[in-house]
Structure formats: C-alpha cells, structure tokens
Amino acid sequence: MVWGLLVLAGIEEVIATIAMKYMDGRRKKWPIFVMIIGFILSFYCLSEAMQVLPAGVAYAVWTGIGSVGITLVGILWFKEKFMFSQFISLGLILIGVIGLRMTS
C-alpha cells in the first residue's frame, strides 16, 4: 500500500511536469490546473508514504521515479535527444530505486 502510494506520487510528479511543458508562458490555463493538482496529489501521496517509510528512502524513490519517468516521456513523447551516457546514469538511478525497495 505504502509503496503504491509512493509510485503514484512519482507518476503524479511526472504528469505535473509534463503540464509545465505545455504552459506556454501562462497563456494556457489547463496546464496550470493540471500542474497544480498533480503536485498537490504527488506531495499528498509522498507525505502519506513518509508516515511509514524513512524520509530519505521515500524521497529518493520519489525523485528517482520522477527523474526516470520524465526522461522517458521526453524521449518518447517530446522526441528529445538522448545520449548513451544518460542511459547509463538513468539505469543507475533505477538500480538504486530497486535496491531501496528491496532493502526497506
């Protein structure tokens, strides 16, 4: 349950960050709404997970999910360039998140 909330918090962070990409200098209103709701839900789920998990573990997993998630969205959706060294670095983040899950 707690790890599910943490994953949901990471997904909401990715959704809110995607909305930031569509803000267009605050001219479009719907991305602002999506971003605000996304971050509210993300922080709520993160704070609930921190009630059970150590803060450092919860925060590391949350940021790891967000980092890997938004990078994958950038590559697949926004067609951003991606270098092999970045792939290695993201792989290390993913290994760290998995390691934290297995040891917590």
Contact 38, 23 (CB under 8 A): no
Check residue 80 and give left, alpha or beta (phi > 0: left; psi -120 to 50: alpha).
beta
pLDDT surpassing 80 at residue 100 = yes
Domain boundaries, the chain: 2-103
Contact 23, 35 (CB under 8 A): yes
pLDDT surpassing 90 at residue 24 = no
pLDDT by residue (tens digit) across 37-70?
999 999 999 999 999 999 999 999 999 999 999 9
Q: What is the pLDDT of residue 27?
A: 81
- Reported pTM: 0.89
